[in-house]
Structure 1
């Protein structure tokens, strides 16, 4: 074997050193701190920072390890991610919903509950993109950051825990061999507990917000509007996206250039069809533009590249020494709040199955594991889905909702305030209760 090939093979077999996680950590710090201390610089140069840090990781894998396969895999995952998020963003931008009724705390709570159910049929991304604009409009006279945050908690994350359609981690499990109805059968109680507690907290806080509003604002909030939906032809394109998600496995795995999948092509075509057939008046009523999806695209290309070493270390099992369901729940959750929760789910599933001598690449083994270690799979599933709401980068829709809200001039909390004011004091205790009630005694 040639020396270079031998070195490349050895590098491929070994794990990256822990310092290679530094670009990912630096990118997270930039996302968290730059808007606070260098807002003007960040607004103009965040694409260069995100892509630049991603290229540092890419240079390490190409120049030092001589291994381009992780970059190819990351490219495939990124394009698939952006095809899904981007297509749903464009298609939902062609549908304008006006909600009939009153934006009172009770009706707001019902609206979020509907979103939590809908997320299981069109995904958290689909539900978020379809409902965030009417959510902002119906609360326009008194909307605050907590309205946006609880929307992210419930509709963009926790709500999608009942079906493989609901959230990308669960879809990965389905593709690997977890039965379609398994999540509903085993995770419905966790979904119900988490949603009920979040909705209860929201109702209390929104009631206080409503009562503090001046009388003229309350009168405007309770003014009835006519229920109306325009852009209904886009439901056809939304259906195409859902069909693309469930294409046969052989088509799912067919790649063009090693990165572009058949489902991604279908989603891109659906988005193009929606954009060019939607009437301009509908786009204008939604104040539609590509700004939010461009921001997500730049930031996540950096995230997908820089997190490659972290995921490789995690998948090796060296950093995973867990034996209990509650341990898997919190470990999966902690990393899902900052890493993409889909590969985090798959990494912990692989580690858990590996400890039992099973392979995550074998559908038969996955089915057996789902039957014999239900509590561990429950823990990994709920940890990945629920804790994706822990930060703006925990799940794809989070940043998109934030960007749309900011475009609508909503005072949305920054990265750090989102965590210390909402996800840590509000979301985390609720998820801790859910975990200990359902998983503490599991085996």
Structure 2
């Protein structure tokens, strides 16, 4: 976390009680409060292009400034108490569990080295993408992405055109593949905590995930074949695939199972013991979960041979970058989500009203697209929760008479996280690792050219099949 943000939080904690004011009313928040959040998004999108050296060396400071431009005016307008509560909630209930889970998955998967003299032919790349997509619903999109990104980079190390491989990897492994179970992606886990049956997700999301994966793999295969054939004509290379694959750091596989079990247990076990910290309610099961993430991370560092991480070219920079950027995103996004949660009484009522027709019935196509597009730019877990509550808030009703609406929210939140680098945390981590391996990844808007041109037609097919026909 940037030091300036820590200093402000410490100051808020120790101010006298008379500096505190009553909590704010979300219905009174104007859209102007979302300016710092928009500022961070634009900084991530534009500064690497316009001022690459400054951004690379000072991105933490830049995002800290935007964060302070939210915290200080908000404290002035609504009081220290409201600001402290909001920021503390964002950090302790959302950011810390988020970053500790990513840290554990990043560390453990970085301790598993998959060795093989394989080459990234179109067929082999498809096989790697299928493997990662299947793993994503078992070990989460972050775990699968961190485990498979290095093998796919090594497989394509000799290919001059490989940016598209990483982009489709983000589409499939870091997003779409997490749609089968609540373990796959945070929005679905939120639904699980709210009462959505584990196997409801599996049964209802199976066909959309299979269809979307199939369409994306077909598109990928033709694009990859084009580049591969063009390379073969230039270099006259003849590729021979290896028949053996060796896995090093196997002890980390048990730690991956431990992470998955920890996440699942925290959703099943509900303790009556709670700790209040800065008006933030921390449940015992969540505290234990986060402590276990830290312990698992430390164990992985201790038991993994150094040569395994060296072979993986493992370093901490990707998780540091995500930690600095997302602490700012989690804090500055608070007023935007609060306005959304205000529903028809908030300043985004015009958007909220789009999901319901004149008879008060849900418009499922709009639930799919709105929950999806907002998930592409906001945190997809709270976005899922906003539309979950807007539709009914009752899991039994949503799994019953409104099952198509729940499907629309689930598909939108999971699939459309692939629209931008910030739509889902592993997107940014995959990008960072690719850049460290000298892959010239596109800019924020450059990536969106790929995502819009490829994903939007696929999502239109999804709309037609699952919500119109």
Give your verdict on TM over 0.5: yes
| Aligned counterparts, 1:293-304, within 5 A | 293-304=319-330
- Specify whether residues 269 and 63 from structure 1 end up closer, same or farther in structure 2 by C-alpha distance, changes over 3 A only: farther
Partner of 1:108: 125
Partner of 1:71: 87
255 and 130 in structure 1: CA distance in 2 versus 1, 3 angstrom threshold: farther
**Hey, what does 2:446 align to over in structure 1?**
417
Identify the range of structure 1 (73-82 vs 376-385) with the bigger mean alpha-carbon deviation. Answer: 73-82
In the TM superposition, residue 63 of structure 1 has moved relative to its aligned partner by 3.2
Tell me the TM-score normalized by structure 1.
0.92
**Alpha carbons of structure 1 residues 88 and 15: separation in structure 2 relative to 1, 3 Å:** farther
Cα 1:384–1:413 change in 2 (3 A) is: same
TM-score by length of 2: 0.87
Q: Which moved more, 1:53-62 or 1:174-183?
A: 53-62
Equivalent position SS for 1:181: helix
Given the superposition, is the C-alpha separation of residues 97 and 86 from structure 1 closer, same or farther in structure 2, using an over 3 Å criterion? same
**Is the aligned partner of 1:237 residue 2:255?**
yes
CA drift of 1:50 comes to 1.1
Q: More displaced, 211-220 or 314-323? A: 211-220
Instruction: Give matches, 1:358-373, under 5 Å.
Output: 360=393, 365-373=394-402
Of the structure 1 ranges 162-171 and 252-261, higher mean CA displacement relative to structure 2 is found in 252-261
Query: Aligned partners of 1:399 and 1:33: how far apart in 2?
Result: 15
Aligned length: 427
- Cα 1:179–1:104 change in 2 (3 A) is same
Return the offset for 1:57: 2.0
User: Within 5 A, what are the aligned runs for 1:84-99?
Assistant: 84-99=101-116
> Could you tell me how far 1:83 is from its partner in structure 2?
0.8
Instruction: Please tell me whether the aligned partners of residues 367 and 409 of structure 2 are also in contact (alpha carbons under 8 angstroms).
Output: yes
Partners in 1 of 2:336 and 2:76 — Cα distance? 19
Q: Which residue of 1 aligns with 2:6?
A: none
> What displacement does 1:225 show?
6.2
Task: Tell me by how many angstroms 1:5 deviates.
Answer: 9.8
Shift of 1:328: 0.4
Match of 1:377 in 2: 406
Residue 65 of structure 2 corresponds to 52
Bigger CA drift: 215-224 or 101-110?
215-224
User: Match for residue 9 of structure 2?
Assistant: none
**Aligned runs of 1:322-341 on 2, under 5 Å?**
322-323=355-356, 324-341=363-380
Q: Which residue of 2 aligns with 1:132?
A: 149
**What does residue range 425-436 of structure 1 map to in structure 2 within 5 Å?**
425-436=453-464
Who is 1:395 aligned against? Answer: 424
Alignment of structure 1 residues 252-267 onto 2, 5 Å: 254=274, 257=277, 258=280, 261-267=287-293
Shift of 1:252: 11
**Aligned partners of 1:341 and 1:384 also within 8 Å:** yes
The root-mean-square deviation of aligned C-alpha atoms, in Å, is 2.1
Report the 3-state secondary structure (helix = DSSP H, G, I; strand = E; otherwise coil) of the residue aligned with 1:337.
Answer: helix
Q: Is the 8 A contact 1:163 1:184 kept in 2?
A: yes
**Uncovered stretches (5+) of structure 1, i.e. residues with no partner:** 354-359
Alignment equivalent of 2:188, drawn from 162, 170, 173: 170
Q: Give the direction of change, closer, same or farther, for the CA distance of 1:138–1:85 in structure 2 (3 Å limit).
A: same
Q: Counterparts of 1:428 and 1:255 in 2: how far apart (Å)?
A: 44
The structure-2 alpha-carbon separation of the partners of 1:112 and 1:374, relative to structure 1 and needing over 3 Å to count, comes to same
Contact 2:120 2:152 in 1 (8 A): no
- Cα offset, 1:431, TM superposition: 1.1
TM superposition shift of 1:256? 7.3
SS for the counterpart of 1:377 is helix
Cα distance in structure 2, aligned partners of 1:255 and 1:99: 49
Match of 1:347 in 2: 386
2:273 and 2:452 map into 1 onto residues whose CA distance is 38
5+ residue gaps, structure 2: 1-16, 357-362
* 1:61 Cα deviation from its structure 2 partner: 3.8
Residues 41 and 5 of structure 1, relative CA distance in 2, 3 Å threshold? closer
Take 1:252 and 1:395, find their aligned partners in 2: how far apart are those partners?
32
TM-superposed deviation, 1:268: 1.4
User: 1:201 and 1:255 mapped to 2: Cα distance?
Assistant: 50
Which digits, 9 at most, give the CA deviation of each residue in 1:55-106, with x for residues without a partner?
2222344332120322122102011110111110111110001246542111
